[in-house]
Amino acid sequence: MNTPYPLAQGFQEFVDLIQANQKFLVVSHVHPDGDAIGSTLSMGLVLERLGKDVVFYNEHEVPYNFQFLPGADRVVNEVPEGGFDVTVVLDCAEPHRVGELPTHGWGKTIAVVDHHKTFDPDFAQVYVQDIEAAATGELVFKVAEHFGVLDTEIALSLYCCLVTDTGSFRYSNTSQATFIMAGALVAAGVNPWAINSQIYESQPKERLMLLGRVLNTLEFSPCGRLAFLTIQAADFPVGTDLSLIDGFINYARSVRGVEVATQLMEADDGWRISFRSRGTVDVSQLAARFGGGGHHNAAGCQIAGAAQDVRSSLSSALVSILDT
């Protein structure tokens, strides 16, 4: 099932849930990106402005380039005991994307706030979903506006959601609504240059050294429409910050003639696959063939096997989609 629940209905149910409860856990998907971290922090701060008790959680660490955001130092990697009234799951709608379920559970009610196509209809009791939203932060922005609590700290995290999930307003999900929201966030105190500098121009030298090695693996299909990057475990030792590779795949997608870029990253249980499309191909459908999901232009999955076999399987699937 991939049809979201009615947005207006889900939004009102979420508002009612917030008003009726006190203790909240806010969480997003593992290996969080800018929208995941930004929506988690902004949602948590919205709840705190309303006098709620909030725990910020992610199974993985906050990436280096988002650690400046207000509340980032409060994100915990283990769910504390004591129980919650509501767990708010942001930027994903499937339990396996959040990681391992704590032995003492997540609370009485689960609410999903998300903008992806793929979701598990049995995961939560309340769904606030809009696949037209540029970022999950766009939905959190509406919650903040509804309650009248938008301030500079919340706006900073929401701007992070927008700028990262739209590729600095370059991707096809950028709309008039995106710029209207960005303008409102600037009016709330966001300095675009300052936040973009923190996200994109404060890179550790290790990231650029790794980028050089990864770009050396760049391969193309005979037709030139597919590009592949491969990250071997030897290039990425255990304990290395996964956020260092964020955005590498976009170099492959930027090559003239490439319609879909694919990144293979070696993991303990196979390969973590990322897809990026220039717009012609819906890579969420491609990812779904291998048990994954995502957006039209950005999706992912996991596949076991030898690198060459995985690339061959992906190439066949990609070509079949391109030729339909």
**Structural domain boundaries in the chain:** 7-200, 205-322
Highest mean pLDDT among 175-179, 296-300, 303-307: 175-179
Q: Does domain 205-322 have CATH number 3.60.15.10?
A: no
pLDDT band at 216 (very low <50, low <70, confident <90, very high): very high
pLDDT band at 82 (very low <50, low <70, confident <90, very high): confident
pTM, full prediction: 0.83
The tens digit of pLDDT for each residue in 250-282 reads 999 999 999 999 999 998 888 999 999 988 888
Rounded to the nearest integer, the mean pLDDT of the chain is: 91
Q: Which residue has the tokens 């999901």?
A: 293
pLDDT band at 198 (very low <50, low <70, confident <90, very high): very high
- Indicate whether 232 pLDDT > 90: no
User: At the fourth CATH level, which superfamily is domain 7-200?
Assistant: inorganic pyrophosphatase (n-terminal core) (3.90.1640.10)
CB burial readout 128-137, b (16+ within 10 A) else e: bbbbebbbbb
The tens digit of pLDDT for each residue in 85-132 reads 999 999 999 888 898 877 667 778 999 999 988 888 999 999 999 999
Beta strands in the chain (DSSP E): 23-28, 53-57, 86-90, 109-114, 126-129, 219-220, 226-231, 260-267, 270-277, 293-294, 298-303
205-322 shares the fold of 7-200: no
Amino acid letter, 267: A
Q: In what order do the strands lie in the sheet with 260-267?
A: 219-220, 226-231, 260-267, 270-277, 298-303, 293-294
pLDDT band at 239 (very low <50, low <70, confident <90, very high): low
Q: What pLDDT sits at residue 294?
A: 81
The tens digit of pLDDT for each residue in 15-32 reads 999 999 999 999 999 989
d(CA 264, CA 232): 8
Q: What pLDDT sits at residue 1?
A: 43
Q: Of 315, 320, 200, 207, which is closest to residue 261 (Cα–Cα)?
A: 315
Of 57 and 308, the structure prediction assigns the larger pLDDT to 57
d(CA 305, CA 291): 15
d(CA 128, CA 4): 8
